[in-house]
Amino acid sequence: MDNEPDFIRLEILKKRKSRENETSDQQEKHCAYNHEYKWKKLAKETIEQCETRLKS
């Protein structure tokens, strides 16, 4: 999980951020279809932290 390339992690973080405004029903569908539960195990990393690491 933690060995994903940074650009993939960044895309996942952005998708997760865009889902924060959805209802829990919509989020559960995303979890079911995209197996996003795996990514909830990622360290609590912000999009900014990930982008900063990519730029360095």
pLDDT of the chain, 56 residues: tens digit per residue = 456 678 788 888 788 777 666 666 665 665 555 555 555 556 556 667 778 878 87
Determine contact, residues 39/16, Cβ cutoff 8 Å. yes
27 burial (CB, 10 Å; 0-12 / 13-18 / 19+) is middle
Which of 47, 54, 51, 42 shows the shortest CA–CA distance to 1?
A: 42
Q: What is the gyration radius of the CA atoms in the chain, in angstroms? A: 12
- Single out the residue of 44, 38, 19 nearest to residue 30, CA to CA: 19
